[in-house]
Chain A
Amino acid sequence: MNKQLILSTALTAVLAAGVSGTALAADKEKCYGVAKAGKNDCAANGHACAGQAKSDNNGKEWKYVAAGTCVEMKGSLKPM
């Protein structure tokens, strides 16, 4: 198919579909999981002294063990 024909076909398809988007994309997904609330809220820690409890915690004491959904995924891990 030549370039001109591809473009005029595509243009016609867009015009035929109209603004309302009646021809729905088959594999479109909603953007789940995007936090919609603003983050610039300094009370986000619950109370003013949230820092008190955590102030002397050093990050090093955490265990770096993945406990989330990555363990559900199959497949061998290969280096990039």
Chain B
Amino acid sequence: MNYAQAISAFAQVLNHEDDTDQPPAASGLHFAHRMRHYRANCRLNRIAALQATFSTVEQLLGADFFRAMAREYVDSIPATSANLHEMGGEFPGFIAQFAPAAALPYLPDVAQLDWARWQAWLAPDAPELAADQLAFVASDDFASYRLQLHPAMQLVASASWPIADILAMHAGGPSANLDAGGQKIMISRYQWQTVSDGQWAFFSALQQRSSVGDALEQALAVDEHTDINQALLWLFQQQLVCAADRSGTVCEDTPPPHA
């Protein structure tokens, strides 16, 4: 048996609970018994990873409910990567169709928010463009510029639920009022904040490589009083711009110096 066959046979056994007919162990515990331990450890590691990523969802549900739901997810959705950091992208969708959680209709959106914050945390580094680098830009030309935004930047919207208030509540804020309606959030590596519908449109357009002028138009189409000053300030204060030019240079991390 070569390595590929061995690993595939092992995976076969791991994924099938009924292992009574498997070959006997060479020594020690029975094979089936040992496989049960191995299987349980795999499952527990995946559940622990979900707990670390979806911390707001866990706080909302309590540990018992969360673990039970996470276990059903782990059992029904196979891992697609050996890297636990990458597990959980389908969790918001899973929660949305998970019947016992149906009484808490805001959960999928909160899960999406947790996932976006996790992505923001793990995104690669990128160089920061200091605001004073824009000093050479003639103000008439600015509309034709394209801003390359940091890969950590995430935008999350909930059509119906006050996700920003819910998140703030879990950072020590007051209880969220679920009747407050939908909210939109911009997330950077270290912080997040509520943004208006117009600012959301502005950021979305920039993220999709629209020029500053086109992004502005999209924002004004949503709300003619969109506070663009504030939106642009946020981008620079949170170090979310890594390049600005007409050609749309792509942000790349500076390669580490050779040792």
Listed in ascending order, the chain A residues whose CB lies under 8 Å from chain B are 3-4, 6-15, 17-19, 21, 23-25, 27-40, 42, 44-45, 48-52, 54-56, 59, 62-70, 72-80
Give CA–CA (A33, B37) in the complex, Å.
31
Residues of B near A66 (CB, < 8 A) are 60-62, 65, 103-104
Given contacts A33-B55, A73-B175, are A28 and B191 in contact (CB under 8 A)? yes
The smallest C-beta distance from A69 to any residue of chain B, in angstroms, reads: 5
Say yes or no for B130: interface residue by CB 8 A criterion.
yes
Residue contact B233 to A13, C-beta cutoff 8 Å = yes
Residues of B near A32 (CB, < 8 A) are 170-172
Partner of A27, one of B142, B193, B237: B193
Partner of B62, one of A44, A59, A68, A75: A68
Listed in ascending order, the chain B residues whose CB lies under 8 Å from chain A are 36-45, 48-49, 52-53, 55-56, 58-69, 71-72, 75, 83-85, 100-101, 103-105, 117-118, 120-121, 130-132, 134-135, 137, 139-140, 142-143, 160, 166-172, 175-180, 187, 189-194, 212-213, 216-217, 220, 228-234, 236-238
Give the nearest-CB partner of A59 in chain B: B71
Give CA–CA (A21, B134) in the complex, Å.
15
Residues of A near B177 (CB, < 8 A) are 73-75
Binding site secondary structure of chain B: helix
Residues of A near B59 (CB, < 8 A) are 33, 68-69
Given contacts A25-B234, A59-B72, A72-B175, are A30 and B190 in contact (CB under 8 A)? yes
Which of B220, B229, B232 is most buried by chain A, counting CB atoms within 10 A of its CB? B229
Residue contact A44 to B45, C-beta cutoff 8 Å = yes
Give CA–CA (A68, B130) in the complex, Å.
42
Given contacts A66-B60, A70-B60, are A51 and B39 in contact (CB under 8 A)? yes
Given contacts A45-B41, A55-B37, A73-B175, are A12 and B85 in contact (CB under 8 A)? no
Residue contact A19 to B65, C-beta cutoff 8 Å = no
Residue contact A7 to B213, C-beta cutoff 8 Å = yes
Partner of B143, one of A3, A9, A65: A3
What are 24 of the A-B contact pairs (CB < 8 Å)? A3-B213, A7-B139, A7-B228, A9-B229, A11-B232, A13-B233, A18-B131, A21-B233, A30-B171, A32-B171, A36-B121, A39-B48, A42-B41, A45-B41, A45-B45, A51-B43, A62-B67, A64-B100, A65-B65, A67-B64, A68-B58, A68-B62, A68-B66, A73-B175
